[in-house]
Amino acid sequence: MRFAANIFLVVKKDLLLELRGKEALSIMIFLSLLLLVVFNLAVDINRDNVSELVSGILWVIFAFSGILGMGKTSLSERDDDAYLNVVFSSVSMESFFFAKVLSNLLFLMIMELFTIVFFVVLFDYERLFSALPGLSIPLLLGSFGFSVVGTLFSFLSTGSRFGEIILPLLFLPLVVPVLIGGVSSTDIILNGSAGDTPGKWLKILLVFDMLYLSISLILFRYLVEE
Amino acid sequence: MRYRKIIKALSLLLFFLFPVNFYLIFQVAPTERIMGDVQRIFYLHLSLAISAYIGFGVLFVASILFLIKKNILYDVLASSAGEVGLIFSTLVLITGSFWARPVWNVWWTWDPRLVTVLILWFIYLGYFLLRKSLPERMKKARYSAIVGILGFLDVPVVRLATKWWRSIHPRLSKEGGGLDPLMVKVLLFSLFTFVVFTIALIYFRFRVALVEERITSILNRMEES
């Protein structure tokens, strides 16, 4: 019970911070909109090819906007070593990490919803809306994987001399399974014929999530002990 | 004294193994019927791949040991093995490319095994960039151990994820089907040579890194006083 209460407290703190400062989330959303515009300029997206391109474009945007946003939320923990107050409180390391993962997950999901709305409006692709219930599962599983790795690595990168530039370099290669699983399952849900199910891709996402959550919960302790 | 003896023994062994290995590969092994002489790259390519995985495996184990025991020696071992792994995996990608051009008619293809090695290569490149960017010694050791552990665990998942793509990588079946018995023997000898070479390289690099470590700590002490 205590575990859940502590998690709730930290998530509430992050949300309050976001509501008052409006920093990480708005940067993520603006970046995803900007990336959509850039994609449209780089690749001519039209009625004929939009269904082929949509899943790849969305997941690339989720990964890039996501990792930059998560870098920002950890930076606010590192400012004045704010997270040390949590470390020295009764909140356990594991529940603190899990709470950070959840609040990052929440930010990611909000950013992804905005990106999907932008996509539908900009490219007139309403299929995304009708498929949204089915898409919610890969979105949730994929974002959870992003959030676990991103939370851990963004804490790691705040101690680095190279700053946030090191973050995508560490993050992107590691989340390749999430990208493959996310893109493939989204593609099958949007374009697959009747017999296709995204089952095996969802399984990969689930395996990745479970593996990295359990390992990160163990390793996070070593990251913050100074 | 013991260190000198080990170095001497390993060097002597390799001095003997390498010429024999190359003689076997270029003179004794039969020429492949379809691919021709270019197939001989395969003996080196596979050996290099195994060696790279040994390097990353040692990095993984040493990283875990460092986090448990907090002994800086394990971190020195991890980074030494990682350097060897990174160099060998670079060579795997290059030799694979040389082989693929005449056989598959492309320099690169998005085959699961190729993608896995490439992703691994990026992960460990990130590992060394992170090390470079952390000035404080213990922090560097702790953070890079975390990346070393997470990176190695990614290998099976990446393999699983990329496996369902069309694979054109030549498979060695369990019965050794398609591979001449003499080829298998040459391959095993090459593997043995490279495993010894990898262990020797990691050991030499580890010794050098220990000296580097000592010099840095002496310099730091001199600056403080």
Say yes or no for a CB contact (<8 Å) between B160 and A207.
yes
Looking at the complex, does the CB of residue B162 fall below 8 Å from at least one CB of chain A?
yes
Angle separating helix axes B112-133 and B72-104, nearest 10 degrees:
140
What does the mean pLDDT of chain A come to? 86
For residue B172, give the DSSP letter. -
Q: Is residue B157 within 8 Å of A207, Cβ to Cβ?
A: yes
Residue type, B209: A
Alpha-carbon torsion angle A84, A173, B82, B92, nearest 10: 180
Examine the predicted complex and report whether its ipTM is higher than 0.90: no
Q: Looking at beta carbons, which residues of chain B come within 8 Å of A152?
A: 146, 150
A85 has a pLDDT exceeding 80:
no
pLDDT of residue A213: 93
Alpha-carbon torsion angle A86, A87, A93, A99, nearest 10: 20
Over residues B132-178, the pLDDT tens digits come to 988 888 889 999 999 999 999 988 888 888 776 544 556 554 444 56
Interface of B with A in 174-203 (CB under 8 A): none
Say yes or no for a CB contact (<8 Å) between B139 and A174.
no
Say yes or no for a CB contact (<8 Å) between B126 and A200.
no
Please report which confidence band the pLDDT of residue A22 belongs to, taking 50, 70 and 90 as the band edges.
low
Say yes or no for a CB contact (<8 Å) between A174 and B135.
no
Over residues A183-211, the pLDDT tens digits come to 989 988 888 776 677 788 898 899 999 99
